[in-house]
Every structure is written in C-alpha cells, then in structure tokens.
Structure 1
Amino acid sequence: MTRRGSSRERRASPRAPGDCFHPEEREALCGRLLSDWFSVHARRLPWREDYDPYKVLVSEFMLQQTQVETVLPYFERWMAAYPDLASLAGANESEVLKLWEGLGYYSRCRNLLNAARAMVKEGLHLPPSDVGRLRSYPGIGPYTAGAVASVAYNLPVPAVDGNAERVVARLCDIPLPAGSGALRRRVSEVVARMLPEGRARDLNQGLMDLGATVCMPHAADCPVCPMEAHCLSLRQGISMGRPLPRPRAEIRRIDAWGLVGFREGACLMRRRPDRGLWASMWELPWFERDSEDFDSDFREWARPWRFSCTSRRDVGQVDFSFTTHRVRAWVVAAEVSASPELAGNEDGRWRFVPFEELPKLVLTAPARKFWTEFTKSQRTLF
C-alpha cells in the first residue's frame, strides 16, 4: 500500500517549493474537510447566520484570547445594544466598556469602538472588504483582517487563528513554536495554497472548527479527522508535539491586601491611568502583603495620600491573575479617612464613590472580586 502511494506521488504534479503536499493531495484533503466533515459538523454560531460583516468584526474582536462559549452571551447582548456600525460609533465609551465587562483585555473593546468610529467617519456602513484597508484601523491585525475578508466577504484570504494554526502545524509537521510569528506566517502560506475557488470562507472556518472540536491542544481524535490520511505528524507519531510548545514566561506569585475602604456610605476608589493594564477602569486598592500585620502594611502604602483607617474587618481571600502575575489577596474592609488633599492628589483619580453608584462603574477584575466577597460576607455591615 505504501509503495503504491509513493508511485502515485512520483507521477503527481510536483510540489511548489516549501509546500507540504502535491496539488492533487491538497484537492483531496480540502474535499474531505469541506464535503465530508464541515458540511456536517460546522458549529452553529450567531455571526454565521448571515455573515454580516459587522457581526463578523465584533465576533473576531471578542474571540481574541477568549473561548467561544464565553463570548456567546456577550455577543448577543452587544448586538441588542449596538446592532450596527453606526450605533456603535455613536456610543459612549464608558457604556461600551460596561457592556464588555467580564470579557477582559479591555483594549480590544476600545480598539473596536475606535475602529467603528473611524469607519463611520469615512462614510462606511459596514467594515470594508480590503485587507490592507482593514489593517489600517485600531486593533485589526493580519488575522482579524483576514477573517473579515474571508468569512464575511468570502475573499481568497487566509484567516489563521490558534485552532487553524495547530491543525496545519500537525498536518504539515511544522516544528515551530505555537503562537510565534514564524509559525503563523508558515501556516498562512500553506492555507493560502489550500483555498479552493469560491470557498475561502468554508475552508478557513473548517480549519478553525476542526481545531476547536477534533484536533485540540492536549488531545486529538484522529480517527474522526477528515484529514487523518494526510497528516504528516500523525504518520511519525508526534502529533501532540506539533506545534512546539511556546516558551513559558516566568510566573511571579504575589500575596496582597485588597482594601474595601468605606466612609459615610461611600467606597474609596481610584481610576486607573488612561493607558496600560485596565486602562481608565475603576479599582479598589490593593497592595503587596509584606507581613501578616495589615495596619503596618497599610500605613506604608497609604503614606503618599495620608489615608488612615479604623474598624478593620477581615472579609476573605480571592485569587486573580494579570499578565505573568498570580495574586492571592486577603480582602479587608476598613473605615478610611483621608486628608483634605484627597481631591487634589497627584493624579486626581482617588474618589469616594457612593455604594449605589458602584454597579454603574467599569471595575477592574480584582475590584469586582473584592466587592463580591465583601457584599457576600458583610451584608449587615451598613
């Protein structure tokens, strides 16, 4: 059987330089992926119902570093509030961020809003189809541009997300690290040669769905894969070794105090800087726990703003993460007094916010956890 296959390969059309398969092989595996598998197993997703370019754009921003199951309820609420490009472009940023709250990576939300505003300012009612023009807008890189062009407009452009990257890395036995620019470029070249005429949308989505449901990161159901017979890494028994693991960043573990500081029915909060982590969001203070003595650590942290606290109450513990940091916070509720200079502090961002106004603010992930823990365990405090 192997000899006969090799004989056929010698008679087949030659491979292009750097290609994984002969043209006949590509045609066969595309046929199996699309006709035998995707036509039956394609995921039913709301942005696929009519392939509206605006819906596709929103979904792609939401899906960056977020699972489909998490995105679905956010997408439905978003479409109810901002059903088209014009309604989003005219929206208030704080209201948009509030609707996004819980999805994380808030720069995506700001980029989506700014991209919509730029498109509407140019007189557009829908995102454009041109990849180069799409990439001129905030937050739209090669993948998002390719996804809008191919999924929304069915143009012959590769759209390589993490799932498709993994599928092709295994299919072609590409020994490059996951998430690397080199792997993404190599996979994009392969996908560009695979795209069948008139079916770029289906091919790109088929690879994504295959990676999401069959060829998964830590498990692969190879017997049900439509491309099993063509998978080069499977033939060598190294499927789980492709792509290569990405280099792991060093994790820093931090013990911290989380402060719910109150005064006369209001809570001490600070607005984050306009750039960087949790930009422009509101936070409840937290600071590193250098000892088991909250009062001592608090005095050291609070010295620049001349805060003082009384009536301390332990609330509980919460964990949260950001970038390469893993934080365990001991949450403390305390009555806080501030110097007269609070309103004129160095960045003008500290504020006592009435409790009833907190739900209207866009809170950082740690702040939401602190407040939830506080309200859960201290309901009778006030």
Structure 2
Amino acid sequence: MKKEKYASIRKGLLQWFQLHQRKLPWRRNHLPYEIWISEIMLQQTQVKTVLPYYERWMARFPDIASVAEATEEELLKYWEGMGYYSRVRNIHKTAHIVMTDHGGEFPREHGAVLKLPGIGPYTAGAVMSLAFNEDFPLVDGNVERVFARLFDIDSPVKEKENQKLIWKTAKELIPSGMARDFNQALMELGALICLPRTPLCGDCPVSGSCESRRAGIVDQRPVAGKRKSLQPIQVAIGLLLRDGKIFIQKRPPHGLMPHLWEFPGGKIQENETPEAALVREFREELDLDICGLNKIALIRHNYTSFKVTLHAYFCTLVSPHQEPVLRTAVDGRWVTPDQLQDYAFPAANRKLIRML
C-alpha cells in the first residue's frame, strides 16, 4: 500500500506541476549560482517579497565572480531590507571560496557544498536537486506542512523525530532522475494549494492520498509548536544635525546586525525617559552633549527574537565645534539626507529614513 500511495503522489504532483508551476526567474536556467542565491533569500521570506530583491541582486551581481569582487558594504546595501544579515556575509565568504578553491564553478559534490559557509542540508539539497537534478531531498516549511497533512503527523513538525521522518520520506518519494521537478512540485503545492490557513483541498492533486483530509482534520495539521515570545525593547535614537548634514555610525563586526549603519542611540533604561536616555547614550558612545531634542517619530518593528519601539528625535550639539569620539562604533560620517540611500541600515532605521 505504501508503494502504491507513493506512486500516486508522484504521478499526481508531477502532472499538476507541469500545468501550474509559476514562472520564477531562478527556474529559467537552473544555474547553481541562481538557485543558491534564491534559496538563501527565500529562507523565512515569501516569494513575492524576494522577487524584486532577487532581480536587483542579479542585475548587479550576475555571477559568483562579481560577488567575490564586491565589497561587503555594497553587498549589504543590496541585501538591505531582507534582514538576517549574516546570510549575505556567508554569501561573500562562499563566493571567495568558490573562486579560489573551485575555479569559479559551484561544486557538484554534496559534501563539498555542505562545507560552504551558511549552507546546511536544506540549501545543499536545493543546489543538488534543483541545479544538478541529483536525487537529494529538499524540505522547507511548505513541504513540512504538506507532509503533516498527507501523513497526519499529530505532533509539531519541528520535533526531532518528525524531522527525521519528513526528510526520510522526502527522499523515498523522489522519482529517480526527476528530483528537480518533484522537489519543486512539493514546494509549489505548499505555496499555492496546501496553504497554512485556507488549504484548497478541492484543487489538490494528491487529496486522494491525504490522511488528514480523510479524517476531516486538515485544519488541525500541522500541529503548532510552542511559539517563542518576542522580547520588548524601548530604544531612543537621534538624528544629529549640523550644517545640513546628519551623523551616522557603523556598528561593530560582532553582536547584533554587525557592520550596518545606524543613527546613534540605545536602550532606554528602567525609569528613564527617552530624552534622558538619548542624552546619556550620546555622552557614553560619542562623548557629545546634545540639545534641542525634537521628537519626530515613534516606530515599531519586530525582529526575530525581539520587538523594538523606537523613539526618534532631531537634535543638535551644545557646542557646534565638538567632534564625535567613537567608543563602540567602528566608523562615523556626516552625510546629507540624500546620501542616506547609499548606506545599509537596520529595518527600523530604514523605516525612519523613508518617513523623512
């Protein structure tokens, strides 16, 4: 029965995919470089969000050599808004390794791909199956949801034993020599039909094999895991003005959002007003005394593990002849408002720039 069920799933999925697959830019030529970049971008990000970033990236960095030759700052700027900036740094490291150790050609061996910075089993499986059509499984959030419903997995899919089962099943299901189409079909089914909240079971090509549909519990699969609560953080930042320019500083290479530019400021301490926090932070970080605080915005933004409430102010120097002394930042510059577009900022800072 298992053999018959797998055969039915393969046939239904592949036939459906041939008729309904989306025309996505990384599917035109199935080049390993394009597959790699698209899969890194697509981690925890929807296709519709990724598309403009992907097209802009490829227009500027059409191959691995162009990535290796670029500066980290330029790569960060083209990645700005995607978040998870460690990814772009790993892309830069990988590009250098591919150029120096693999003659500029993306390696075709699974073990060699897994050794590259920022590439784990998922991305390695994507490159091997989608670029080289090798029989390697590929499991993303869409595939986890499809399998949770198809095979009625009655506990959270992220649990260790369920992950083993899903990856094992994904490998067993691959029709030999057809990994590219089959893996894409699985992900496409989750993206277009087996939706998180409103699955379109009537349009599903494998609904006849779906155990949770047969039991009438599709809406109860996948079982939700424990949701991690976001830590709230109150932050005050200042747009320091002098002679028509604004001071920005560059974050250090370690810690949160390394090497991104930002407006100076920091966390508001308990029983401290935003204004008092900003004055204190400018003294501690830059040895500057500021005045003329004028609140311009209150911005809220959620990151992976915390949610920020950003209190933003215009401010000026008490003494116009003071110069910043960098104590935590690694660089600082006075820039015109138009020049802010040339630097990569954290998402909450970028929201403020768009408002300005």
**TM-score, normalised by the number of residues in structure 1:** 0.86
Residue identity matched to 2:12: R
CA-to-partner distance for each residue in 1:200-251, whole Å, 9 max, x for gaps?
1111100100000111111211111111111112222222322221211122
Residues 297 and 122 (structure 1), Cα distance of their counterparts in 2 relative to 1, 3 Å cut:
closer
Q: Do the aligned partners of 2:128 and 2:134 also contact (CA within 8 Å) in 1? A: yes
Contact kept in structure 1, 2:326 and 2:332, CA below 8 Å: no
Q: Is the 8 A contact 1:115 1:138 kept in 2?
A: yes
Instruction: Give the superposition deviation at 1:275.
Output: 2.5
* Sequence identity percentage: 36
Distance 1:175 1:91, change over 3 A: same
For 2:124, the aligned partner's letter is: A
Closer/same/farther in 2, CA of residues 212 and 348 from structure 1, 3 Å limit: closer
2:282 corresponds to which of 298, 302, 308: 302
Correspondence for 1:249 among 228, 231, 238: 228
- The answer for the alignment partner of 1:41 in structure 2 is 20
**Within 1, Cα distance between the matches of 2:351 and 2:114?**
36
Q: Provide the rounded CA distance (Å) in 2 between the counterparts of 1:69 and 1:179.
A: 25
Q: Secondary structure at the match of 1:276?
A: coil
Partner SS, residue 193 of structure 1: helix
The letter of the residue matching 2:259 is: S
2:85 corresponds to which letter in structure 1?
Y
The one-letter code of the counterpart of 1:284 is F
* Higher alpha-carbon deviation: 282-291 or 328-337: 282-291
The alignment status of 1:190 with 2:172, answered yes or no, reads no
Cα distance in 2, alignment partners of residues 95 and 191 from structure 1? 38
C-alpha deviation, 1:129, in angstroms: 2.2
- The amino acid across from 2:277 in the alignment is D
Over 3 Å counting, the alpha-carbon distance change for 1:27 and 1:349 in structure 2 is same
| More divergent stretch after superposition (76-85 vs 250-259) | 250-259
Q: Secondary structure at the match of 1:34?
A: helix
Question: What whole-Å deviation, never above 9, does each CA across 1:10-42 have from its counterpart, x for those lacking one?
Answer: xxxxxxxxxxxx11221112101112x111111
In the alignment, the residues of structure 2 paired with residue 118 and residue 340 of structure 1 have an alpha-carbon distance, to the nearest angstrom, of 47
| 2:75 paired with 1:96 | yes
Q: Which residue of 1 aligns with 2:57?
A: 78
Partner of 2:342: 360
Q: Is the 8 A contact 1:269 1:353 kept in 2?
A: yes
1:66 aligns with 2:45: yes
State the AA in 1 paired with 2:330. Answer: R
SS at match of 2:234: strand
- Tell me the SS of whatever aligns to 2:232: strand
Q: Secondary structure at the match of 2:345?
A: coil
Q: 1:156 to 1:265 in 2, by over 3 A?
A: same
User: Compared with structure 1, are the counterparts of its residues 175 and 332 closer, same or farther at alpha carbon in structure 2 (3 Å cutoff)?
Assistant: same
Shift of 1:280: 0.7
Q: Residue 199 of structure 2 aligns to a residue in which SS?
A: coil
**Is the contact between residue 293 and residue 315 of structure 2 (CA under 8 Å) also seen in structure 1?**
yes
Shift in Å at residue 291 of structure 1? Answer: 6.0
Three-state SS of the structure 2 residue aligned to 1:128 is coil
Larger Rg computed on CA atoms = 1
| 1:132-281 aligned within 5 A | 132-281=111-260
Deviations 1:287-313 (A, max 9, x none): 344568444333333342432222222
Count of residue pairs the alignment pairs up: 353
1:28 corresponding residue in structure 2: 8
Q: 1:296-375 to 2 correspondence within 5 Å? A: 296-305=276-285, 306-337=287-318, 344-347=325-328, 349=330, 351-355=332-336, 356-373=338-355, 375=356
| 1:74 positional shift | 1.3
| 1:19 corresponding residue in structure 2 | none
The residue that corresponds to 2:93 in the other structure is 114
CA distance 1:268–1:238, shift in 2 (3 Å):
same
Contact 1:302 1:308 in 2 (8 A): yes
Aligned partners of 2:284, 2:222: CA distance in 1, in Å?
49
Deviations 1:350-371 (A, max 9, x none): 6242225322221121221222
TM superposition shift of 1:137: 0.3
Task: Specify whether residues 348 and 206 from structure 1 end up closer, same or farther in structure 2 by C-alpha distance, changes over 3 A only.
Answer: closer
User: What is the letter of the counterpart of residue 80 of structure 1?
Assistant: A
Match for 1:125 among 97, 104, 123?
104
Letter paired with 1:151: L
1:291–1:132 CA distance, 2 compared to 1 (3 A): same
- Structure 1 residue ranges (4+ consecutive) displaced by more than 6 angstroms after TM superposition: 338-341
Q: Alpha-carbon deviations, 1:108-147, whole Å to 9, x = none?
A: 1111121111011113333222221101000000000000
C-alpha contact 2:80 2:344 (8 A) present in aligned 1: yes
Query: 2: CA distance between counterparts of 1:352 and 1:283?
Result: 11
Q: Is the 8 A contact 1:158 1:188 kept in 2?
A: yes
Amino acid of the residue matched to residue 319 of structure 1?
A: R
**Deviation, structure 1 residue 348:** 5.1
| Alignment partners' CA distance in 2, 1:85 and 1:123 | 11
